[in-house]
Amino acid sequence: MTVETIGALGLGDMGGAVATALKKSGFNVITTLAGRSAATVDSASDRGIKDVGGIADLVRESDLIISVLVPANAPEVAASIAAAAGASDTPITFADCNAIAPASAIAMGKVVTDSGTHFVDGGVIGGPPRDDYAPRFYVSGPDLDAMMELDGRGIQVVPVGPEIGRASAVKMVYASQTKGIAALQAAMLVSARRLGVYDELISELESSQAANLERASSAVTRLPSVAGRWIGEMEEIASTFESVGISGGFHQGAAEIFRLVDASDTESAKSLDDLVKAFAAAAT
């Protein structure tokens, strides 16, 4: 198939940047803003992404729909796409590029393919695309042609096999380290603060692990803006690990750390120390 029009679901930091990159690469990019927040409406307007109405309209006008959302919303969105596609008998491809467990991708894939729609399991690694940088979209499934047309046009597309779930598996094991480490670093600093040895810990890290302290400072400082979105991802990672006999306890704990960060009052925080104090104050 030839992809001309792409439906974009999710116009946050990553989804919005992906939509913009694809638009710059020559695709017609559209979306549906029905029921979306004012921030999302503004994002679409700022990026010049056309709102076509509801899900049924998006399905009717798109060749390919890409979903980049928080994990909790992914199944409902996939089901709505399947229902609209099944009712209209529209031949499209739906690519779920959310941070979900392989089992979740397989279940969603069945719902979508039962409607007669092609399903792509996707996992995104890297930050939002820029003019000088393209994140990698790992993809798997039996119908990858539509997504492969996007390779080199604002994003990199990396096929990892015909089985639905493989791309999600790559994302899960990769993020288990990158985001899991951020949770561990936050837990370390908050615990030191509540134990009254924060200054001593920082002094020791400056002396013996300066590079690690710099990385921890960078990661923890970023958490207030992303923790809320990462909670569900940690739970999906825990489920992924448990499916192969590995404890999911660490990443369930990481989800709890991110809940703590998300519930903290960090509005006036101006430094790492300020943030850790805010996280510690929210801990019970």
Domains of the chain: which residue ranges?
Answer: 5-164, 169-282
**How much is the pTM?**
0.93
Superfamily of domain 169-282: N-(1-d-carboxylethyl)-l-norvaline Dehydrogenase; domain 2 (1.10.1040.10)
Torsion angles phi and psi, residue 63, rounded to 5: -90, -35
The Cα 120–Cα 163 span in angstroms is 10
pLDDT for the residue 91: 84
Please say whether the structural domain 5-164 has been given the CATH code 3.40.50.720. yes
DSSP assignment string, 144-173: -HHHHTTBTTTBEEEE--SSTTHHHHHHHH
Residue 274 burial (CB count, 10 A):
13
pLDDT for the residue 90: 78
pLDDT for the residue 26: 95
Weakly modelled stretches of the chain, pLDDT under 50: none
